[in-house]
Each structure stands twice: as C-alpha cells, then as structure tokens.
Amino acid sequence: MPKEEWLTYEREWSGSVMRVTQLSTEPRPRTGFSQPPRPATKVEITEEKAKRAKREQDRVLRAKFEERQDYKDAKAIHDILEWMEPNSHPLDRLTPAEWAELRRRLTDGR
C-alpha cells in the first residue's frame, strides 16, 4: 500500500492564515489557495486525522439515530405539522385536549 502523502494549503484570510490539510489524492481546495501546497507537519496530520475521526463518529451516530423507527415516526409528524396550511392540516385528527397533552409530553410540560 502506498504511503499517505498529506499536504497543507495556506492562504491569508482577514489578517490570519487559514490552513487546509488533506491527502494529496483529494481535490485541491477551490478558492483562495493559489500558492503551491507544502508537506503537512506531523501535528497537522494528527489534528486532521482526529477531526476526520470525530466527523465520522458523528456521522455514524446520526445515521443510527435516524434509523430508529421512533425517529422516523417523529420526523413524519414534524413534516406534516411544518407544512400544514389552513386548508390542509392534521389538527382535526386529535381533540384540543389531546394536542395539549401531546405538547406537554413532548416539551416536558412547558
């Protein structure tokens, strides 16, 4: 397996230097990085790998959360309520007391 080559691109931004560290096989950053890249330092590589690991951990956590059936049910309810209009709504499907109870249960009584 070929050795990973990490590069750091730099640019001036609002009086500071913005750095982007990435693998050499990834597309070059799009805007403002006109200077040629330099080899990334061990610290930059470690930081970038940690950011990527955290991002992947967050992605996996979100995917597992969104796979839950109760999430899918709550999302469907959200979508119906978000898009309701005076001539198209689910309000008559529950009594006002049932809506109030649902609100209390979902908002910890607020």
At 1 the pLDDT is 59
In a shared domain, residues 46 and 58: yes
Number of domains in the chain: 2
Q: Which domain holds residue 80?
A: 68-106
Amino acid, res. 102:
L
Q: Report pLDDT for 3.
A: 84
- Using alpha carbons, select from 24, 17, 19 the residue that is nearest to residue 3: 24
Same domain, 59 and 99: no
- Block mean pLDDT (10 aa), the chain, length 110: 87 88 93 89 97 98 98 96 94 94 86
82 domain-assigned? yes
- Amino acid letter, 96: P
pLDDT of residue 110: 66
Q: Which two tokens stand for residue 43?
A: 């610290």
9, 37 contact by CB (below 8 A): yes
Select from 68, 70, 92 the least CA-distant residue to 78: 70
In the structure encoding, which two tokens stand for residue 73, read together?
């049910």
| Residues 89 and 57 grouped into a single domain | no
58 and 98 housed in the same domain: no
pLDDT of amino acid 93: 94
- Does residue 53 sit in the same domain as residue 88? no
What's the DSSP call for residue 30? S
Specify the pLDDT at position 31: 80
Within-domain flag for 1: no
Q: pTM for this one?
A: 0.73
Do 12 and 31 lie in one domain? The reply is yes
